[in-house]
Amino acid sequence: MTEIRRPQLKEFDRTGVPERVCVRLLSYEERGVLEDMTQTLRKMRSCVFACGAEILTDADVIKVTLVPEDIFARVMPRLILRGFMARDDAGALFSPHLYDRLLRKE
């Protein structure tokens, strides 16, 4: 079984991860982007947007998630602010929910 890719973090504050029910606070557009990103990460078997050792740029994330660039640019700051997406110490986008879930499984 392949090990799931992890974000590069010195420390991870699990108390900062919003409850899944808080997704209802997001607009339909924000929820759609979050769902597309989460499904893409699951297909990649990863918590972080990376390909091998290479961190995906925002342009690469847009390509792999099929989210239009203008929507990505408008929605991503809000998803990060609300804690549904984050950047690790190397600047890679990752899902705090998927990472927290991986840590709980361990």
In tens, the pLDDT along 39-48 reads 999 999 999 9
In tens, the pLDDT along 27-40 reads 999 999 999 999 99
Which whole-number Å values give the CA distances from 37 to 14, 24, 76, in the listed order? 20, 17, 11
Average pLDDT in the chain = 90
DSSP designation for 16? G
**pTM (two decimals):** 0.88
Give the pLDDT score at 15: 78
Nearest to residue 62, comparing CAs of 52, 53, 49, 51? 49
Collapsed DSSP state (helix, strand, coil) of residue 22:
helix
Q: Name the strand (E) or helix (H) holding 94.
A: strand 93-94
Give the pLDDT score at 17: 83
Give the pLDDT score at 4: 66
CA neighbours within 13 Å on the CB side: how many for 35?
A: 9
The predicted model gives 53-75 an average pLDDT of 95
